[in-house]
């Protein structure tokens, strides 16, 4: 029998090598077709008396990343359709669909013939769960091999037997830690946890897997044998009596109770370890179905799995423009930002001409890459040879003529219109006619900067976030005259350096910074009202933000806030900035020299390491302080999230952001907007626009007009619309997932 996605070769020893190699796909993923073929393959090898055992591996450089977008989408589509048609049967149908992979893996596990998973690359999610259902697991020791059950990061949890098998193979504490954080394991760590049996050289992977079968591997899982005991003794032991009361508290400390999938893992393990294995699988299936129905799972999967992949694959790339692979670019400005842009470009195999005012300044820029490479080599993340190759691609220089053969120039000089004007003129004097000029400005409108260009159609904004090597988001800003060619090349470049792009139209602060400064400004309001700074920061974290607004302001620099406020007043008038905010920032910067982390003092104090930063005690003396009992933490949480979401809605109303996927993904990747919400617009859609409008009106009545709902929101509330229905990114013919 032949299969589209698999080949089967049986050797003289009766060992069937099943190779998963999907045509026209760079990575193997689970689809309905793949699942059906695996089901048929199990039946085939069981029926064939000549087959003594099975080795399951991948024909690609990676094993598998897990489920396909369409498979995840189909689950939500099924739920929506069934609930509309027959709410009584919707739950049962979702339960059955959610359990398909679970029971298929169990079929492999109990088929009566030994299966060995030969893991040759990234093995994530359902693929790792399939491997755990095999009777033997061998992993290559190549650095590209990574094993994980990362589902919690997209709002769900390992629902194909993962919670039951991991908890029966590894000790409970390690199992919970791995699954509730989505932790990625090296092959060596997986072996230490008893999740992998052998780690071998890449060329020994298949021979070692076959040898396990030849050596008499039993086709029975440990938990199916009489007398099996859970590592550590299970739930009712003195060690478990210490672990389990603490586990929910630790999880709440880390997640503030915002992630149903993470809590479900604890429930699945705790309940599942007290019952037979098959009953444990049903418990897992029940919780998986329950979590799939949650707003958090729907929103997180849509934004962090589906939308992120769609944007990364060029969902906003103009049609009809040929894809371009960049060989050489220029980066002008070798300060920390420009130097980091040069690093990520070289890491993607692009030659970089790194330019600054003189050779010494340019060389300092390259030194940033040299340090990053040295750190990576020291930590074993990069070989010495790869590091040398990367550095050889960066040429520091003061000579603009080295830009005569580049496809793209990224300008990353000081945030000053005149400085940028001078650079634009120098670059365009030598730039090839077909090349694109991209400004990395974070606040200055692109249309205004493009007035200094002779070729505004080839002028675009590409806004990176610091630290560039870690931050996955890039804002691509389209000016009034930016052409499709410039947009396409910018998106090709962002894709090549493995960042996720969002495309936004031109405005002051673009999208991310507008939202960020609303978050910071709300904290200013709270401070001025007398809310203790500790409560502000803790409320933000409880709301799901990675850092509090005062800490974030220190990171971006308090004096930068001052500059932005002054620029707003100069361009837009006194009413554009609250005088109380200006007074607070002026006092911190001008009177107290508290500029943020960069000078060791801002809203926080930054003592010498290893001591940790702490809130500056003098904050409480700036304004009359309220007692904690006078402050409602839930209201603080609402204010911080609502003010950001409202700003996101304004950018949509103004036509700055035109695709809700970009608002959501940009808010999470750009500044960590409460990921469990799915992003700023999903936060609004999740509670319902009508409910959000009512909440805005309530907050506006007590805390100011900046909480007033916009005309767009009022109209959407009246019509019962959501952002994903009104601004459907998939077109009128297809409903958003």
Give the tens place of pLDDT for each residue, 10-36.
999 999 999 999 998 889 999 889 999
How many CB atoms sit inside 10 A of residue 564's CB? Answer: 20
Helix 260-272, helix 172-181: angle, nearest 10:
160
Residues 259, 365, single domain; the answer is: no
- Region 3-7: mean pLDDT is 94
Helix 680-687, helix 689-703: angle, nearest 10:
110
User: Of 733 and 48, which is predicted with more confidence?
Assistant: 48
Residues 100, 234, single domain; the answer is: yes
Annotation says 463 is catalytic = yes
| Among the ranges given (478-482, 497-501, 506-510, 601-605), the one the predictor scored with the smallest mean pLDDT | 506-510
- Region 703-717: mean pLDDT is 96
Side-chain half-sphere exposure of 566, counting CA atoms within 13 A? 10
Q: What is the pLDDT of residues 611-653, one digit of tens each?
A: 999 999 999 999 999 999 999 999 999 999 999 999 999 999 9
> The domain that contains 581 carries what CATH number?
1.10.1040.50
pLDDT of residue 521: 95
Domain region containing 284? 6-293
Residues 94, 132, single domain; the answer is: yes
Sequence-ordered alpha helix ranges (H) in 394-433: 417-428
| C-alpha to C-alpha distance for 689 and 187, rounded to whole angstroms | 46
Tell whether the torsion through CA atoms of 708, 709, 710 and 711 is positive or negative: negative
Helix/strand/coil for 625: coil
Does any domain span residue 277? yes
Residues 32, 167, single domain; the answer is: yes
* Beta carbons within 8 Å of 97's beta carbon, 6+ residues apart: 74, 75, 78
Angle at 580 between CA 574 and CA 586, to 5 degrees: 90
| C-alpha to C-alpha distance for 548 and 173, rounded to whole angstroms | 29
Residues 430, 461, single domain; the answer is: yes
Percent of the chain surpassing pLDDT 90: 75
Percentages helix, strand, coil for the chain (3-state, rounded to 5) are 55, 10, 35
Measure the CA dihedral 119/121/125/130, to 10°.
-20
Q: What is the pTM of this model?
A: 0.89
Q: What is the pLDDT of residues 129-167, one digit of tens each?
A: 999 999 999 999 998 899 999 999 988 899 999 999 999
Helix/strand/coil for 483: coil
Last residue of a domain, one of 568, 595, 627: 627
What mean pLDDT is reported for the chain?
92
Percent of the chain surpassing pLDDT 70: 99
- Region 346-360: mean pLDDT is 94
- Region 521-549: mean pLDDT is 95
Residue 8 has pLDDT above 90, yes or no: yes
Catalytic residue among 135, 197, 463, 581: 463
Does any domain span residue 499? yes
148, β-bridge pairs: 124, 184
> The domain that contains 390 carries what CATH number?
3.40.50.720
| C-alpha to C-alpha distance for 645 and 673, rounded to whole angstroms | 9
Residues 524, 499, single domain; the answer is: no
Helix/strand/coil for 675: helix
| C-alpha to C-alpha distance for 553 and 59, rounded to whole angstroms | 48
Residue 734 has pLDDT above 50, yes or no: no
123, β-bridge pairs: 64, 147
Residue 180 contacts residue 251 (beta carbons within 8 Å) = yes
- Region 90-111: mean pLDDT is 88
Residues 137, 275, single domain; the answer is: yes
Last residue of a domain, one of 570, 595, 627: 627
Residues 254, 365, single domain; the answer is: no
Q: What is the pLDDT of residues 156-202, one digit of tens each?
A: 899 999 999 999 999 999 999 999 999 999 999 999 999 999 999 99
Does any domain span residue 544? no
| C-alpha to C-alpha distance for 45 and 247, rounded to whole angstroms | 43
Residues 50, 180, single domain; the answer is: yes
pLDDT of residue 69: 65
> The domain that contains 263 carries what CATH number?
3.90.226.10
Does any domain span residue 315? no
Helix/strand/coil for 575: helix
Residue 454 has pLDDT above 70, yes or no: yes
Q: What is the pLDDT of residues 35-59, one digit of tens each?
A: 999 999 999 999 999 999 999 999 9
Residues 525, 479, single domain; the answer is: no
Does any domain span residue 696? no
Last residue of a domain, one of 267, 293, 319: 293
| C-alpha to C-alpha distance for 544 and 535, rounded to whole angstroms | 14
Measure the CA dihedral 285/290/295/299, to 10°.
0
Residues 503, 529, single domain; the answer is: no
| C-alpha to C-alpha distance for 76 and 690, rounded to whole angstroms | 23
Residues 102, 239, single domain; the answer is: yes
pLDDT of residue 222: 96
Please state the domain count of the chain: 3
Residue 316 contacts residue 397 (beta carbons within 8 Å) = no
């Amino acid at each position: 029998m032949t299969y589209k996605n698999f080949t089967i070769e049986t050797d003289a020893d009766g060992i069937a090598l099943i190779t998963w190699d999907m045509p026209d796909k760079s990575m193997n993923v689970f689809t309905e077709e793949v699942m059906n073929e695996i089901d048929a393959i199990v039946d085939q090898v069981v029926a064939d008396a000549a087959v003594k055992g099975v080795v399951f591996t991948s024909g690609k450089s990676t094993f598998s990343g897990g489920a396909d977008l369409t498979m995840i989408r189909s689950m939500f589509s099924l739920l929506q359709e069934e609930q509309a048609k027959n709410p009584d049967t919707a739950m049962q149908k979702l339960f059955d669909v959610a359990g398909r992979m679970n029971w298929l893996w169990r079929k492999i596990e109990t088929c009566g013939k030994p299966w060995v998973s030969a893991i040759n690359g990234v093995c994530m999610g359902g693929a790792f769960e399939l491997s755990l259902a095999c009777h033997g697991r061998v992993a290559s020791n190549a650095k590209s091999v990574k094993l994980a059950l990362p589902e919690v990061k997209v709002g769900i949890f390992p629902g194909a037997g993962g919670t039951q098998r991991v908890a029966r193979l590894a000790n409970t504490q390690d199992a919970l830690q791995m699954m509730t954080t989505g932790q990625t394991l090296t092959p060596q760590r997986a072996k230490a946890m008893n999740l992998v049996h052998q780690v071998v050289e890449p060329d020994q992977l298949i021979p070692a897997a076959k040898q396990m079968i030849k050596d008499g591997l039993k086709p029975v899982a440990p938990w199916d044998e009489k007398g099996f005991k859970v590592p550590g003794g299970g739930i009712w032991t003195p060690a478990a009596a210490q672990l389990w009361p603490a586990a929910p508290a630790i999880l709440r400390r880390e997640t503030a109770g915002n992630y149903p999938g993470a809590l479900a893992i604890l429930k699945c393990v705790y309940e599942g370890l007290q019952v037979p294995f098959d009953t444990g699988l049903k418990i897992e299936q029940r919780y998986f179905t329950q979590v799939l129905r949650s707003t958090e799972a729907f929103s997180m999967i849509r934004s962090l799995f589906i939308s992120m992949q769609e944007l990364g694959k060029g969902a906003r790339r103009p049609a009809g423009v040929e894809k371009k692979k960049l060989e050489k670019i220029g980066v002008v400005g070798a300060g920390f930002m420009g130097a980091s842009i040069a690093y990520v470009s070289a890491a993607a195999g692009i030659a970089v001409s790194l330019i600054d005012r003189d050779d010494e300044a340019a060389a300092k820029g390259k030194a940033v890459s040299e340090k990053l490479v040295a750190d990576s080599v020291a930590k074993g993340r990069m070989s010495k040879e790869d590091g040398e190759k990367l550095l050889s691609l960066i040429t520091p220089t003061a000579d603009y003529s080295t830009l005569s053969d580049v496809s793209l120039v990224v300008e990353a000089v000081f945030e000053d219109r005149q400085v940028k004007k001078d650079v634009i003129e120098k670059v365009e004097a030598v730039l090839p006619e077909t090349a694109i000029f991209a400004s990395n400005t974070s606040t200055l409108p692109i249309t205004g900067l493009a007035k200094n260009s002779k070729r505004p159609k080839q002028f675009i904004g590409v806004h990176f976030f610091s630290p560039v090597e870690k931050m996955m988001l890039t804002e691509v800003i389209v000016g009034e005259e930016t052409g499709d060619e410039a947009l396409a090349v910018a998106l090709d470049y962002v894709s090549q350096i493995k960042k996720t792009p969002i495309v936004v139209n031109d405005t002051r602060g673009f999208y991310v910074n507008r939202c960020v400064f609303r978050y910071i400004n709300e904290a200013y309001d709270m401070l001025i009202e007398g809310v203790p700074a500790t409560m502000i920061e803790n409320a933000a974290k409880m709301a799901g933000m990675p850092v509090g607004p005062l800490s974030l302001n220190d990171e971006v620099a308090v004096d930068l806030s001052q500059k932005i406020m002054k620029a707003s007043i100069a361009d837009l008038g006194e009413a554009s900035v609250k005088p109380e905010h200006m007074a607070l920032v002026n006092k911190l910067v001008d009177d107290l020299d508290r500029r943020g982390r960069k000078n060791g003092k801002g809203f926080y104090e930054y003592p010498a390491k290893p001591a940790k930063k702490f809130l500056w005690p003098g904050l409480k003396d700036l304004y009359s302080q309220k007692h904690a009992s006078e402050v409602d933490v839930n209201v603080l949480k609402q204010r911080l999230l609502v003010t950001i979401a409202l700003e996101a809605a304004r950018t949509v109303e103004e036509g700055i952001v035109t695709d809700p996927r970009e608002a959501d993904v940009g808010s999470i990747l750009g500044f960590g907007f409460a990921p469990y919400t799915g992003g700023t617009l999903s936060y609004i859609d999740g509670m319902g626009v009508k409910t959000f409008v009512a909440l805005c009106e309530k907050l506006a009545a007590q805390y100011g007009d900046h909480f007033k709902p916009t005309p767009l929101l009022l109209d959407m509330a009246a019509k019962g619309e959501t952002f994903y229905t009104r601004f459907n990114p998939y077109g009128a013919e297809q409903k958003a997932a």
